[in-house]
Amino acid sequence: QVQLVESGGGLVQPGGSLRLSCAVSGIIFNFVVMGWYRQAPGKQRELVASISNGGTRNYADSVKGRFTISRDSAKNTVYLQMNNLKPEDTAVYYCKPTNWNSNWGQGTQVTVSS
């Protein structure tokens, strides 16, 4: 069974940075494309970034140039470095394989506010 544990969220001022982490277990990490999703209040969950085992990265237009996704296969962990955060980035952030069926983790709350 796939387990996903997100961490690193918090309250940050506009323009600030956060680094999210997601520990993955129960799956052959190198086989999956990992994604970071977010869900803001009253909105649908959206995919903001993904990374393949080969390092191919894709980003939503809203975060391009500000967010960077990376993965560490030795640690079975995927990261999301978020810079120049904006109030509209406020959401619960989740990681999940994009090409493998799994449940969602508990997510980590990111709040961008002055």
pLDDT over 90 at 27, yes or no: no
**What is the C-alpha separation between 110 and 100, in angstroms, rounded?**
25
pLDDT category of residue 29 using cuts at 50, 70 and 90? confident
Query: Stretch 8-23: mean pLDDT, rounded?
Result: 98
Strands 108-112 and 10-12: parallel
Query: Stretch 21-35: mean pLDDT, rounded?
Result: 92
Query: Stretch 63-74: mean pLDDT, rounded?
Result: 96
pLDDT at site 95 = 97
pLDDT-above-70 percentage for the chain: 100
Q: What is the mean pLDDT of the chain?
A: 96
Q: Phi, psi (5° rounding) for residue 20? A: -95, 145
Residue (of 95, 80, 92, 79) closest to 27 by Cα position: 95
pLDDT over 90 at 52, yes or no: yes
Whether the CB-CB separation of 18 and 6 falls below 8 Å is answered with no
